[in-house]
Amino acid sequence: MLEGRNLSFRYHPKKDWILKNISLTVSPGQVIGLKGMSGEGKTTLGKIMAGYLRPDSGFIQVDKYPLPKKGVSPVQMIFQHPELSVNPKWRIHKILSEGIAGNQTLLMDEFGLSPSFLNRYPHELSGGELQRIVIGRSLGKDTRYLIADEITAMLDAITQAQIWHTIMTSIKKRNIGVLAISHDENLLNRICDDCLHIRDLNN
């Protein structure tokens, strides 16, 4: 169980609280949606849950243990822009090998990508293809939870559907819990077991 307890956060001690006393849990295999307006702190909450930011108060636990400071994190975050999430000087196979140890061709098959892409550079793939690579990289054997922050916001409807379709089958197979952040209500209603609004969480 990925658990955030009484999380509060602000970017500067003199500024207002962005997150105040938020608690939420994600169970293995469960997809939780998180929606809200721009600037309400969706991404900030995601970054805190994935360990990219430290909350000013409260804590994160994975199965009753705090997130590791070093080494592989069981919580992986996927960002909105795949081209910023990969080293532009690396070929795809090297990018994938950073996250997964096993057979890359199998993974490419699972995500509906041609194995010939493995030898390409990131700028030689489209945004949708690259986002699938980034998702594939985050599905290493130690990954228990995914934080998906607007991961299909820049893609067209068909690609969005395809990507979420592959994600759903992949996470069901691996029993991974997902926190899906989006402001697209239709999308969240389609994929989520439970949908939360950040305004309702904020106390």
Partner 1 sequence: MKTVIVTYKTILRNKRLTTILSIILCILVFAGLSIAGFTISEKGLRTDLEERNLSPDACHIFGTDWLGRDMLTRIVKGLNLSLKIGLIAAGISTMIAVMLGLCSALFGGMVDFVIIWMIDLFMSLPHLVFLVLISFAAGGGAKGVVIGVAVTHWPALARVIRAEVLQLMNTEYIQIASKLGQSNTGIMTHHLLPHIVPQFLVGMILLFPHAILHEAGLSFIGMGLSPHTPAIGIILSESMRHLSTGYWWLAVIPGACLLFMVKLFDILGENIRDWVNPKILRG
Phi, then psi, of 31 in degrees rounded to 5: -115, 115
Interaction of residue 12 with partner 1, rule CB under 8 A: no
Phi, then psi, of 128 in degrees rounded to 5: -65, -45
Q: How far apart are CA 101 and CA 32, in angstroms?
A: 28
Q: Which of residues 93-112 bind partner 1 (CB under 8 A)?
A: 98-99
Please state the closest distance from residue 123 (CB atom) to partner 1, in A.
6
Handedness of CA 187, 156, 85, 164 (dihedral sign): positive
51: alpha, beta or left? (left if phi > 0; alpha if psi -120 to 50) = left
Q: Which of 62, 86, 113, 179 binds partner 1 (CB under 8 A)?
A: 86
Interaction of residue 15 with partner 1, rule CB under 8 A: no
Please state the closest distance from residue 89 (CB atom) to partner 1, in A.
5
Yes or no: say if 149 and 77 are a contact pair by the CB < 8 Å rule. Answer: yes
Q: Which of residues 161-190 bind partner 1 (CB under 8 A)?
A: none
Describe the strand order of the beta sheet including 19-26 as a list of residue ranges: 19-26, 2-9, 57-62, 65-66
Q: Which of residues 119-138 bind partner 1 (CB under 8 A)?
A: 121, 123-124, 137-138
Interaction of residue 157 with partner 1, rule CB under 8 A: no
Interaction of residue 79 with partner 1, rule CB under 8 A: yes
Q: Which of 39, 70, 116, 158 binds partner 1 (CB under 8 A)?
A: 70
Q: How far apart are CA 53 and CA 197, in angstroms?
A: 21
**Closest residue by Cα to residue 145 from 23, 26, 22, 5:** 26
Please state the closest distance from residue 54 (CB atom) to partner 1, in A.
14
Packing angle, helices 157-174 and 127-137, rounded to 10 = 10
Between 83 and 194, CB nearer to partner 1:
83
Please state the closest distance from residue 195 (CB atom) to partner 1, in A.
26
Taking CB under 8 A as the binding criterion, the range among 17-25, 48-56, 166-174, 192-200 that sits at the site for partner 1 is 48-56
Q: Which of 50, 107, 125, 201 binds partner 1 (CB under 8 A)?
A: 50
Please state the closest distance from residue 72 (CB atom) to partner 1, in A.
4
